[in-house]
Amino acid sequence: MRSLKKCDIVAGAFIALLGAVVIIAASQIRGDVDERLPPRALPYAVGFMTLAGGLGLAVKSYRFRGEDPGVQWPEKDGWVRIGVNLLLLALFTALMDPLGMPITTGLYVAGAIWYMDRKRILTALLTGAGSAVIVYYLFIQLLGLSFPLGPLAG
């Protein structure tokens, strides 16, 4: 059995590395000077928050001085849930260009919620629709970020 402290340190370091990769990738995004909010602003914000969160987790876990509980690996059902969620994330990425960010976000959120709690299909659909509306109005209309719009572009 592995210890929670070691797992959290490794996870924190991996998350911090992921944040650094996002920051490096965001620095390659070019945009017009006269844009109200440059296209790299949101990826930079996400990258820095991810980097800080990962470093925070790793440092907090390293400095922890209590009883170190063991970590049990997930059973078969847990691995299936992880796999399905990774598949949903891959579909989200693949469908973003043809369907657009708002529609893809709505489908992803609704699908993930429904998969995790199959008794609440209406809640999943309403939350997905709300997420799509928020993405459209907040990120595209209000902030003017250039996300793919898919069928909404016309």
State what percent of residues in the chain have pLDDT above 70: 94
Residues 92 and 65 in one domain: no
Q: Give the other-Cβ count within 10 Å of 106's Cβ.
A: 23
Residue range(s) defining the domain that contains residue 25: 1-69
The verdict on residue 152 lying in a domain is no
For residue 33, the model assigns a pLDDT of: 62
Mean pLDDT of the chain: 87
Amino acid identity of 117? D
Residues 87 and 44 in one domain: no
Q: What are the backbone dihedrals phi and psi of residue 51, each rounded to the nearest 5 degrees, phi first?
A: -60, -50
Mean pLDDT per segment of 10 residues, for the chain of length 154 residues?
78 94 88 70 90 94 81 80 92 92 95 88 94 92 82 80
**Domains of the chain: total:** 2
The answer, as to whether pTM is greater than 0.85, is no
For residue 34, the model assigns a pLDDT of: 66
pLDDT tens sequence across 48-57 = 999 999 999 9
For residue 50, the model assigns a pLDDT of: 95
Residues 143 and 78 in one domain: yes
Residues 115 and 65 in one domain: no
Q: Pick from 69, 95, 118: which residue ends a domain?
A: 69
The verdict on residue 153 lying in a domain is no
Q: Pick from 14, 47, 69: which residue ends a domain?
A: 69
Q: What are the backbone dihedrals phi and psi of residue 118, each rounded to the nearest 5 degrees, phi first?
A: -70, -5
